[in-house]
A and B are shown apart, each in its own frame.
Chain A
Amino acid sequence: DGGITQSPKYLFRKEGQNVTLSCEQNLNHDAMYWYRQDPGQGLRLIYYSQIVNDFQKGDIAEGYSVSREKKESFPLTVTSAQKNPTAFYLCASSIQGIQQPQHFGDGTRLSIL
């Protein structure tokens, strides 16, 4: 079955450490997205990519970085510059060029040790 796989499901970060969250999709979607979800704040867009080797900042990109070297992969790095990284991170994808719903992975919960 096609879908989005996020790993790990739970991740712990030490102060000053960078961590990378994995997102892989086999839906053949062009566009991929990273959202951060905090209680009571809904989903906020961190970065998005409409095509391989191209990505754009979302509303809360500071302290995060991404790469898009392959169509199926869109990893997110939470850097030490992100001072409040504890959150639930969701990866999504959609077909580009046609308005389609975004498909989401099951998320990674990041906590600070």
Chain B
Amino acid sequence: QQQVKQSPQSLIVQKGGISIINCAYENTAFDYFPWYQQFPGKGPALLIAIRPDVSEKKEGRFTISFNKSAKQFSLHIMDSQPGDSATYFCAASSTTSGTYKYIFGTGTRLKVLA
């Protein structure tokens, strides 16, 4: 119930294409879903986050789509650029648990070809 399943494990996209990464969860108590971007040798950095009261959130070229009934959420990177090549992690947490623990997906390594 605490797992967040992320797919695909790796992804190769042409420059200008759309990158799509999916995550699924089981714990219905989760109510905060961030995505992190990590470059080699660096810590993850928050990219975009969504709460279950909205079905979509867009920030620049990055969009989160959220399907509460299916317990799934996805990250879409529009007009993918070589600089977007990184590992992306989804995560989930429950604001009612009192622990502020994040459950992370296993990551997706994205490579955008020039």
Contact = CB atoms under 8 A, between A and B. Distances in A.
Contacts of A92: 43
A45 B101 contact: yes
A42 B6 CA distance: 10
A14 B45 CA distance: 32
Interface in B2-57: 6, 9, 31-32, 34, 36, 41-46, 49
Contacts of A53: none
Contacts of A44: 104
A41 B49 CA distance: 21
A86 B49 CA distance: 31
Contact of A106 (B32, B43, B95): B43
Contacts of A56: 99
A2 interface: no
B102 interface: yes
19 contacts: A4-B43, A31-B100, A33-B102, A35-B104, A40-B9, A41-B106, A42-B89, A90-B43, A92-B43, A96-B100, A99-B32, A99-B93, A101-B34, A101-B49, A102-B34, A103-B46, A104-B36, A104-B43, A106-B43
